Amino acid sequence: MAVDKTLLSGSTTMLILKLLEDKDMYGYQMIEELSKKSNDTFNLKAGTLYPLLHSLEQQGMVISYDNNVDSARIRKYYSITKKGRGLLADKKAEWQTYFTAVNRVLKGGANLAATY
Amino acid sequence: MQQHIRVKQYLEILCSQIRCKQIHGDICEEIENHIIDQKETFKAQGFDDETATIKAIEQMGDPVIIGTELDRTHKPKPEWSIITLTILLLVVGTVIRFFTSSQDSNGIELFNKQLLFTMVGIGLMVLFYYIDFTVLGRYPKTIFLLLSTVIIFLIILSKPINGKYIYASYMLLLFPTSFAGVVYSMRNKGYIGIVFCGIFFAVSFIVSMIIPSVSSCILLFLSCLVILTIAILKGWFNVKKLYALLLVYLPVIGLLAVIFSSGILSKRIALALNPLIDPTGAGYIGTMTRTLLSGAQFIGQGSLPDYFQGVSASQIPPGINSDLLITYIIHKFGWLAFIIVATLFTVFIVRAITLCLKQKSVLALLVSTAITLTFIIQTILYIASNLGFQLFAPLSLPFVSQGSSYLLTNMCLVGILLSVYRTGYFIKDKKISIKTATNSFIKFEDGKLIIDFNIH
């Protein structure tokens, strides 16, 4: 199921960092993996991914290097840094708080409706 | 090749949105790889090549939007810390020279001249700031040759002053930066590359000897050695680091051993440590410097020994507008003035080194290190000499000391340095595939020297 784009945009940084936590990847691979892991829910656009990756690199959250292990072409791989792992932990905590709060409101709303 | 043209057009539109040109190649490659990957996926789903390409490009999204986004991320940023520190040092220099000019008969004339050259210098700094510094890595031999030719012409055309070709000597400050470009161009050239670097160094060293400027020789020697060492440690020559370091340092140790055993240096060191062993001869200026400093206060005007009765500090040779600017300032205003100047230089140097270490591309790293070293060595030589330790004659105190030619040269260098800090982050060293990396004519492996006639 495709979801509203605005829902995805806030958490894209977290999702990308999470992907890189397991292994180093190149851009296309990230989109594929994200789509696979989310049962095609997250369809990240290249136009969103690369500016985000490049700015994460400038902030020192990820580093990039060239490699041609998987194919004849030299690809640009990204690797998460220690600083990036710190950001991921923060983002996860932030997401948890948000997620719990949204859930509580939704449930509260349901309970409230039931009482009336 | 319809598809290729479509991809090319897409990339052209995307890149035209990105102002920082140095990064275009890198971005194009990454995006093109992405399109090819996407195209292959579509082809695997049964689409023909043409349709797969069109679909893959569609999938990418609007190139103008991506380009604009990337432009925002890769906006060159001026390095305000170094710009501010340079301006502060220029102001401090102007204030110091304003004071010294009032103590000297032709001081005002000198002050005005230097002020005019400060303005010209700022212009040069701005000019070099906007020039793409990667030319140093693209045309290293041409630049080196051009620089050497200019210096040799200056030697031939100018007359020596006090036995020294003054006008040619200023240009020597540019050698380390040019050398950084030469080292950069020797990537994967193996031991022969290191030997070539040695030859380039030797040429610049010999030119410095002709001038003759021992201090420039020291500056060149130290900065080139550091640049070469960094390149070796970065694996730039693609050889065993230990052997490469031995190749560089064994001749260096040999050379130093010859110089030390000749006894010339030990005499100079003894004199620098204690100029009073020859107060009227070679130790004269050293003795005067120490006399001026010994009477200095922490704050305020210092005193002179009794035998200088009726003589002001500015009249003591070698004169206030000489290379002893800082000595006179310490004597006149106290050590606090020195602490302020020294702090400014320390902050400048520490900041410059920190920024050098942050450089990702080897070219940016080598060029910024070369320039920073040129500033560091000049500063150390000048301050040491002004504090009474005169092992080598000072060249100049960057941005502060008297002398318009040194000022202009240093302003060009700081302009290049700022250019590196501004765009160096985006520079990527030219890629060389793994296969060609070991393609060198002469290889040294497992203790064997291999000459490979079978390379293309």
Is A68 part of the contact surface with chain B (CB cutoff 8 Å)?
yes
Report the gap between the CA of A23 and the closest CA in chain B (Å).
Answer: 19
Neighbour-count burial of B111, counting CB atoms closer than 10 A to its CB (0-12 exposed, 13-18 middle, 19+ buried): buried
| Nearby residues of B36 by Cβ (< 8 Å), 6 or more positions away | A73, B56
| CB-side neighbour CA atoms (13 Å) of B293 | 19
Spatial separation of the C-alpha atoms in residues A46 and B423, rounded to whole Å = 25
Residue type present at position B21: K
Is A51 part of the contact surface with chain B (CB cutoff 8 Å)?
yes
ipTM: 0.83
Report the gap between the CA of B185 and the closest CA in chain A (Å).
Answer: 20
What distances in angstroms separate CA B228 from CA B96, B187, B396, B419, one per listed residue? 37, 12, 25, 22
pLDDT of B420 > 80? The answer is yes
pLDDT of B71 > 80? The answer is yes
- Res B35: pLDDT: 92
Q: Given pLDDT bands bounded at 50, 70 and 90, which one contains residue B1?
A: very low
Smallest Cβ–Cβ distance between A51 and the set B60, B69, B433 belongs to B69
More confident residue, B53 or B280: B53
pTM over 0.90: no
- Cβ–Cβ gap B434/A68 under 8 Å: yes
- Cβ–Cβ gap B431/A47 under 8 Å: no
Is B31 part of the contact surface with chain A (CB cutoff 8 Å)?
yes
A vs B: CB pairs below 8 A:
54
Q: Determine the angle formed by the axes of helices B140-157 and B175-184, rounding to 10 degrees.
A: 150
| Nearby residues of A109 by Cβ (< 8 Å), 6 or more positions away | none
Q: Which of B17, B24, B31, B34 should we substitute to test contact with A (largest number of A Cβ atoms within 10 Å)?
A: B34
Report the gap between the CA of A12 and the closest CA in chain B (Å).
Answer: 16
Is A26 part of the contact surface with chain B (CB cutoff 8 Å)?
yes
- Cβ–Cβ gap A27/B70 under 8 Å: no
Spatial separation of the C-alpha atoms in residues B192 and B150, rounded to whole Å = 28
From A38-52, B292-306, B426-440, the region with the lowest mean pLDDT? B426-440
**B59 contacts in chain A (CB < 8 Å):** 45-46
From B6-15, B227-236, B347-356, B412-421, the region with the lowest mean pLDDT? B6-15
- Structure tokens given for B408: 């202009």
Report the gap between the CA of B219 and the closest CA in chain A (Å).
Answer: 34
Per the omega criterion (within 30 degrees of 0), is the bond before B212 cis?
A: yes
Q: How far apart are the first and last CA of chain A?
A: 33
- Structure tokens given for A113: 């409706």
Most confident segment among A48-52, B41-45, B143-147, B429-433 = B143-147
CA dihedral for B61, B64, B69, B70, sign (positive or negative): positive
Q: Which of residues 35-54 of B touch A (CB under 8 A)?
A: 36-38
Lay out the sheet containing A75-80: strands in order across.
A25-26, A75-80, A62-67
SS (H, E, C) chain B: CHHHHHHHHHHHHHHHCCCCHHHHHHHHHHHHHHHHHHHHHHHHCCCCHHHHHHHHHHHHCCHHHHHHHHHHHCCCCCCHHHHHHHHHHHHHHHHHHHHHHCCCCCHHHHHHHHHHHHHHHHHHHHHHHHCCCCHHHHCHHHHHHHHHHHHHHHHHHCCCECCECHHHHHHHHHHHHHHHHHHHCCCCCHHHHHHHHHHHHHHHHHHHHHCCCHHHHHHHHHHHHHHHHHHHHCCCCCCCHHHHHHHHHHHHHHHHHHHHHHCHHHHHHHHHHCHHHCCCCCCHHHHHHHHHHHCCCCCCCCCCCHHHCCCCHHHCCCCCCCCCHHHHHHHHHCHHHHHHHHHHHHHHHHHHHHHHHHCCCHHHHHHHHHHHHHHHHHHHHHHHHHCCCCCCCCCCCCCCCCCHHHHHHHHHHHHHHHHHHHHHHHCCCCCCCHHHHCCCCEEEECCEEEECCCCC
- Res A109: pLDDT: 60
Give tens-digit pLDDT for A94-103: 889 988 998 8
**Nearest chain A residue (CA) to B70:** A51
Query: Please, which contacts does A63-72 make with residues 24 or more away whose CB atoms are closer than 8 Å?
Result: A66/B431, A68/B433, A68/B434
The residue extents of the domains of chain B are 2-75, 80-426
Q: What mean pLDDT comes out for the span B337-343?
A: 96
Are the CB atoms for B156 and B168 separated by under 8 Å? no
pLDDT of B60 > 80? The answer is yes
pLDDT of B262 > 60? The answer is yes
More confident residue, B329 or B448: B329
Q: Which of residues 393-452 of B touch A (CB under 8 A)?
A: 425, 431, 433-434
Spatial separation of the C-alpha atoms in residues B366 and B197, rounded to whole Å = 13
What structural domains and CATH numbers belong to chain A?
Answer: 5-115 (1.10.10.10)
Buried b (16+ CB within 10 A) or exposed e, A19-34: bbeeebbbbbbbbebb
Most confident segment among A33-37, B219-223, B314-318 = B219-223
- Res B433: pLDDT: 41
Helix (H, G, I), strand (E, B) or coil at A57: helix
Q: What mean pLDDT comes out for the span B407-425?
A: 93
Smallest Cβ–Cβ distance between B66 and the set A28, A50, A66 belongs to A50
Average pLDDT of chain B to the nearest whole number: 88
Q: What mean pLDDT comes out for the span A29-33?
A: 91
More confident residue, B392 or B242: B242
From B54-63, B96-105, B371-380, the region with the lowest mean pLDDT? B96-105
- Cβ–Cβ gap B36/A73 under 8 Å: yes
